[in-house]
C-alpha cells in the first residue's frame, strides 16, 4: 500500500497531515491542534468540499475548536479533527475507510477519530477494523454508538441556562426556537424541546428530513431557506454546518439567544461583537456542544461511570452560568472570555 504523505507544520497546529491514496480515492486531512492535555480526539467529517483549500480551512478551524471544547469540558484530551474530501452518499467505500484506518495507525494514537457529518457509526466500524484509534463504533460491536443525543442533551441544558439568565425564565414553555439543521444532533434537540412545549421551527436542506420530522412531531413548523434567518424567535439553534452566523445572516437574525450544536457557528470572531451590539446572547459552540465528546471520551477510560457522564454534561450549564455572570457584570465578550480561559488551561497543561 502506498500513501502519499505530505506533512505540514502549521503555525497554530502541532501537526497537519494530508493523505492521498489514489487506489481507494481517499483524500483526507488530519489536523492535530494540540496534545498538551492529552490525545487529540475529534470526529471525521466527510463532505464534497469545493476545493482542497476549503477543506484545509475547515479541518484547521474544527481541530482548534476541539482543543477548546475539551479544555472547557474539563477533559484530559487534546484537539484534533479529520476530513475526507468526497460526497458521503456517492464516494464512500469500505476500502476507502479501511485505508483511512491504516493511515491513522501511523499517528500512534496522537489522534483518535470519531463521528462527524457524513460519517456514520457503521463507517467507524470499517475504520476500526484497521485501527484502535477510533471511538463511537456500533454498540452491538462493543462501541460507544452515536454520541449525538448526548451532544443534544448538553445543548438543551445550555439553552435552558441561557434562557434563565437572559430571559429570566425557568421554563422553555411557549418559547419559539428555530433549529437549523435536523440531522443527528438537531433532531434529538427538537425532541427534547418538543417535550417542553416549545414552539419549534425547523429548516434543513434535506426536505425529506423535514417531512419526517413533521410526521413525528406534528406541531413543528417547517421554514423555507428564505425564512430561516429572518423569522422572529427567542432562540436560534444552529445544528448544521459551520459559519452559519456570518456578515449576512447577522443582519437579519431576530432572536435573543443563539445556542446550538454546530461546530464553528461564527464565520469569524468579529461576528461576536456584532451579536453583542444587537443584544443577542451567543453561547460559544465549543462550550455548549461538548456532550458527545464527554460521552465518547468515557470509552477511553474504563473508570468513567454513567454518573460521571451525566454530571459532566450537566456541568455544561454551570460553565455557561459562570461565563455569563462575568460577561454580564464586567461587560466583556463572552466568546473572548471562553477562548482566553480555554487557551490558559491548554498553556498551563491543566484542566
Residues that bind ligand NAD (CB under 6 A): 115-117, 147-148, 151, 180-186, 203-206, 209, 239-241, 261-263, 289, 292
| Shortest reach from residue 1's CB to ligand NAD, in Å | 29
Cβ within 8 Å of residue 344, ≥6 positions away: none
Give 27 or 115: the residue with its C-beta nearer to ligand NAD: 115
Report d(CA 145, CA 82) in Å as an integer.
19
Residue least distant from ligand NAD (Cβ): 183
- H/E run at residue 84: strand 78-85
Q: Are strands 257-258 and 281-282 parallel, antiparallel or unpaired?
A: parallel
- CB of 5: closest distance to ligand NAD in angstroms? 26
Residue among 262 and 272 whose Cβ is closer to ligand NAD = 262
Distance, CA of 330 to CA of 258 (rounded, Å): 21
Closest to ligand NAD by CB, 100 vs 203, is: 203
Cα-based distances in Å from 187 to 29, 117, 122, 305: 29, 14, 19, 26
- Residue 81 bears catalytic tag: yes
- The DSSP symbol for 298 reads G
Provide, rounded to whole angstroms, the least separation between the CB of residue 22 and ligand NAD. 27
Between 14 and 285, whose beta carbon lies closer to ligand NAD?
Answer: 285
Query: In Å, what is the CA distance from 215 to each residue of 180, 183, 218, 219?
Result: 18, 15, 6, 9
Least distance (Å) between residue 314 CB and ligand NAD: 17
Pick the catalytic residue from 15, 27, 69, 81: 81
- The answer to whether the beta carbons of residues 42 and 79 sit under 8 Å apart is yes
Cβ at position 32, least distance to ligand NAD in Å:
17
Nearest residue (CB) to ligand NAD, 181 versus 284 = 181
Q: Identify the helix (H) or strand (E) that includes residue 4.
A: strand 4-10
The dihedrals phi and psi of 73, each to the nearest 5 degrees, come to -85, 0
Which are the catalytic amino acids? 81
Amino acid at each position: 500500500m502506498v500513501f502519499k504523505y505530505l506533512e505540514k507544520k502549521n503555525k497554530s497546529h502541532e501537526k497537519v497531515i494530508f493523505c492521498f491514496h489514489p487506489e481507494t480515492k481517499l483524500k483526507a486531512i488530519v489536523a492535530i491542534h494540540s496534545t498538551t492535555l492529552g490525545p487529540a480526539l475529534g470526529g471525521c467529517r466527510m463532505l464534497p468540499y469545493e476545493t482542497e483549500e476549503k477543506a484545509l480551512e475547515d479541518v484547521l478551524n474544527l481541530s482548534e475548536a476541539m482543543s477548546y471544547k475539551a479544555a472547557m469540558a474539563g477533559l484530559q484530551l487534546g484537539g484534533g479533527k479529520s476530513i475526507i474530501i468526497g460526497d458521503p452518499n456517492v464516494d464512500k467505500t469500505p476500502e476507502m475507510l479501511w485505508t483511512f484506518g491504516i493511515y491513522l495507525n501511523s499517528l500512534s494514537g496522537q489522534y483518535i477519530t470519531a463521528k462527524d457529518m457524513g460519517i456514520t457509526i457503521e463507517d467507524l466500524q470499517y475504520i476500526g477494523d484497521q485501527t484502535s484509534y477510533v471511538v463511537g463504533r456500533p454498540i452491538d460491536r462493543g462501541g460507544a454508538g452515536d454520541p449525538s443525543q448526548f451532544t443534544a442533551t448538553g445543548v438543551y441544558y445550555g439553552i435552558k441556562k441561557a434562557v434563565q439568565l437572559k430571559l429570566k425564565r425557568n421554563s422553555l414553555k411557549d418559547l419559539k426556537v428555530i433549529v437549523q439543521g435536523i440531522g443527528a444532533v438537531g433532531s434529538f434537540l427538537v425532541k427534547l424541546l418538543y417535550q417542553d412545549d416549545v414552539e419549534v421551527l425547523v429548516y434543513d436542506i434535506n426536505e425529506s428530513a423535514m417531512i419526517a420530522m413533521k410526521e413525528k412531531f406534528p406541531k413543528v413548523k417547517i421554514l423555507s431557506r428564505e425564512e430561516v434567518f429572518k423569522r422572529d424567535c427567542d432562540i436560534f439553534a444552529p445544528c448544521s454546518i459551520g459559519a452559519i452566523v456570518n456578515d449576512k445572516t447577522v443582519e437579519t437574525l431576530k432572536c435573543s439567544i443563539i445556542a446550538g450544536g454546530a461546530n464553528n457557528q461564527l464565520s469569524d470572531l468579529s461576528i461576536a461583537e456584532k451579536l453583542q451590539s444587537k443584544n443577542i446572547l451567543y453561547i460559544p459552540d465549543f462550550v455548549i456542544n461538548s456532550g458527545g465528546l464527554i460521552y465518547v471520551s468515557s470509552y477511553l477510560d474504563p473508570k468513567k461511570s454513567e454518573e460521571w457522564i451525566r454530571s459532566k454534561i450537566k456541568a455544561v450549564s454551570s460553565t455557561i452560568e459562570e461565563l455569563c455572570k462575568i460577561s454580564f457584570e464586567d461587560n466583556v465578550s463572552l466568546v473572548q472570555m471562553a477562548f482566553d480561559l480555554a487557551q490558559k488551561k491548554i498553556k498551563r497543561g491543566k484542566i
